[in-house]
Amino acid sequence: DTGVSQNPRHKITKRGQNVTFRCDPISEHNRLYWYRQTLGQGPEFLTYFQNEAQLEKSRLLSDRFSAERPKGSFSTLEIQRTEQGDSAMYLCASSYLDRGDTEAFFGQGTRLTVV
């Protein structure tokens, strides 16, 4: 297993376009998290899944954001009608809940630039 994988690594898009990011977690992990990080800030929680169920979505997240994890494996995060304020690093992390206390493992992130 090579760890958490995110694609693409970089994305530049024009304002108003839709973008989709993919995250492949560590294979046996049942929890998958999406975070957003801007310069000088820590990762900000967006949403998370246990298996295929989306358990929580941040109230800071507008309706333009949607995430799926259709078969409890990989996940996608879509941003519709992108705005310049969406420019950030989008981090995916995974963990295995049932092994007691466990750390989350992070992917390399997708850096989004909206121009």
Please report, as ranges, the residues that interact with another protein according to CB under 8 A.
Answer: 4, 31, 33, 35, 40-45, 48, 50, 55-56, 89, 91, 93, 97, 101-109
19/91 with CB nearer another protein: 91
Find all residues with CB under 8 Å of 14, minimum gap 6, and list them.
Answer: 82, 114, 115
Closest CB 85 distance from another protein, rounded Å:
18
Residue partners of 50: CB distance under 8 A and separation at least 6: 30, 31, 97
Nearest-approach distance from CB 39 to another protein, in angstroms: 10
In angstroms, what is the minimal distance from the CB of 81 to another protein?
27
Which C-beta is closer to another protein: that of 74 or that of 105?
Answer: 105
